[in-house]
């Protein structure tokens, strides 16, 4: 009987060691999962920051070029206004003479379609 009891004791001790190893493995697994989650979170944060930086750079390029475009349009508009004003001052005198001569110099003529009543 003692050998049987000794065998049972050995089995119980082996079972206890196996249970302890299993618990220890579960704890290591939990730690590793937690560590992997933290690493993944850090990697995601790093990726997000990089993408946001790229987005801001692209946005700056686009908005910067829009600012340059608005400056170019403003310069072109100013140049066009300057050219039109110059042309107006240059041609105003001759146009006024043409208008006044057309309005003031009236030459009465009979219209070609007019028929005399006989």
For 37-84, write each residue's pLDDT tens digit. 999 999 999 999 999 999 999 888 877 666 677 788 899 999 999 999
Predicted confidence at residue 71, as pLDDT, reads 83
* Angle at 73 (CA atoms; ends 78, 87), nearest 5 degrees: 30
Predicted confidence at residue 106, as pLDDT, reads 84
Predicted confidence at residue 2, as pLDDT, reads 73
For 95-111, write each residue's pLDDT tens digit. 999 999 988 988 888 88
Predicted confidence at residue 114, as pLDDT, reads 83
């Amino acid at each position: 009987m003692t050998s049987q009891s000794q065998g049972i004791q050995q089995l119980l001790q082996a079972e206890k060691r196996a249970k302890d190893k299993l618990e220890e493995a579960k704890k290591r697994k939990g730690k590793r999962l937690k560590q992997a989650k933290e690493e993944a979170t850090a990697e995601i944060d790093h990726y997000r920051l990089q993408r946001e930086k790229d987005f801001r750079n692209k946005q700056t390029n686009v908005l910067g070029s829009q600012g340059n475009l608005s400056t170019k349009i403003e310069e072109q508009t100013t140049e066009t206004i300057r050219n039109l004003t110059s042309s107006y001052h240059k041609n105003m005198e001759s146009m006024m003479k043409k208008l006044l001569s057309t309005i003031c110099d009236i030459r009465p003529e009979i219209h070609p379609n007019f028929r005399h009543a006989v």
